[in-house]
Amino acid sequence: MGLKVAFVDFVFENREAIRLEGCEFTIHPPLRTAADLIAAAHDADILMMRDQFGRITAEVLAGCPRLKLIVTRSAGYDHIDLAAAQARGIVVCNVPDYGAHMIAEHAFALMLAVARNVCRGNARYRQERRFDDTGLGGVELYGKTLGVIGTGRIGRHSVRIGKGFGMQIMAYDVAPDERLAAEQGFQYGSLEEVLARSDFVTLHVPLLESTRHLINSTTLAHVKPGAILVNTSRGAIVDTAALKEALANGRLRGAGLDVLEDERTVYHDFGDLNVVITPHLGWYTEEARDRILQISLENVRAWIEGRPIHRLV
C-alpha cells in the first residue's frame, strides 16, 4: 500500500497531474475548519494544502496522528504551527519560489489602476453608461520615486520593473543587500525615510510578528502626502483602520490591495475612497499554477527519497 496523501484546498489544479509513484491521493475542496481538516487527513501520511483557507494548529495535528509530512503549496507558511509540527517530528516544506515576477507584475497593475483611475473609469462607462473623464485625472509613474519595502525575490522584481518605468528607487529592508543596490542603482534608507520620500510604496515583506501592522498610524504619518500604497504581501502588514484614515484625510492618494486583514471572513468597506482591491490574485497565473504543483510534488518525492527540500522544520 502506498503513502496516503490528503490533497486539500483543490480549486484549479490539473487533476490529472496530481499523481506520484508510491502515493495514493484523496482530493478535497477548500477546507477551513479544524474538524474538516482532521476528517480529510486523519489517516494520511502526507498533507498537501494551500495557505488561504484552513490553519494547521496543534489541534489539527493531534487529530492526524499518522502525519509525517506537510507540504504547503505556497511561499507563505504563517498558517502552520511550525513549533507544534516540529514537536511531533513532522517535516514541513513550502514552495519558496514559483516565479516572484508575477506578483511584482500584479503590484504594478494595481499601482497603475489606482494612479490612472482605471477601475473608476471602467465603472463609470459600464455602470453609468458615461464616456466621461471628469474628475479622473491621474498621476504618472515616470520620474517619480518608488519605495520598495522588502527586497527579497519579489521586491527585486519590483525594483527592476520600476526602473523600466523610469522611476527612482528607494528601498527598506532589515537586511540591506548593498550589492543589489549597487547593481540596480538604488539606495536603502530607514522605513521612515523611504515612506517620506516615495510617491509610490509597494510592500513585499513576509508576515512575522515584527512586520504585523508595519504600516500603521505612526508610520503612515511619515508618508509623503499624496502617495499611493500597494500591498501584495499579506493583509496584516497593514493596519486597515489606519489605512482608511490616511485615505480619508488625503494623506494617501489611493491604495491597491491584493490582500486584506481577515480577507476570507471580513468585508472591509472602503466606500468611495480611491482603493482598488483584487482577491489575492498576485500569484494566480496559469504558468504559476502549474509550477506550484510541480514543485509541491517534487517536495514529496524528495522527502520519500530521504532528501527533503524547501524544508521549514
pLDDT of residue 1: 64
Other residues' Cβ atoms within 10 Å of the Cβ of residue 232: 28
Q: Are 147 and 170 in contact (CB under 8 A)?
A: yes
Q: Are strands 69-72 and 168-172 parallel, antiparallel or unpaired?
A: unpaired
Q: Cell 524547501: give the residue.
A: 310
The per-residue pLDDT of the chain, averaged, comes to 96
Q: Which residues are catalytic?
A: 234, 263, 280
CA distances in angstroms from 77 to 90, 99, 101, 199, listed in the order given: 14, 17, 20, 31
DSSP 215-284: BSHHHHTTSPTTEEEEE-S-GGGB-HHHHHHHHHTTSEEEEEES--TTTTT-----TTSSEEE-SS-TT-
Q: Which helix (H) or strand (E) segment is 193 a member of?
A: helix 191-197
Helix H or strand E encompassing 182: helix 178-184
Residue 65 burial by Cβ neighbours in a 10 Å radius (0-12, 13-18, 19+): exposed
pLDDT score of 285: 93
Whether 92 has a pLDDT exceeding 90, the answer reads yes
Residue 29 banded pLDDT, cuts 50, 70, 90: very high
Asked if residues 43 and 4 have their Cβ atoms less than 8 Å apart, the reply is yes
Round to whole Å and give the CA distance between 236 and 248.
Answer: 20
* Coil, strand or helix at 71: strand
Q: What is the pTM of this model?
A: 0.85
Top pLDDT among 264 and 242 is at 242
Tell me the pLDDT tens digit for each residue of 158-207. Answer: 999 999 999 999 999 999 999 999 999 999 999 999 999 999 999 999 98
Give per-residue pLDDT as tens, 225-241. 999 999 999 999 999 99
Domains of the chain in sequence order? 3-98+286-304 (3.40.50.720), 101-277 (3.40.50.720)
SS (H, E, C) 122-140: HHHHHHHCCCCCCCCCCCC
Q: Report d(CA 170, CA 190) in Å as an integer.
A: 10
**What angle separates helix 101-115 from helix 118-128, to the nearest 10 degrees?**
60
161: cell is 520593473
Q: Where are the alpha helices (DSSP H) in 13-68?
A: 34-41, 58-62
Indicate the pLDDT class of residue 264, thresholds 50, 70 and 90.
Answer: confident
171: which strand partners?
Answer: 148, 188
pLDDT at 252 > cutoff 90: yes
Q: How far is CA 47 from CA 28, 29, 308, 310, in A?
A: 11, 13, 15, 15
Residue-wise pLDDT for 60-89, tens only, equals: 999 999 999 999 999 889 899 999 999 999
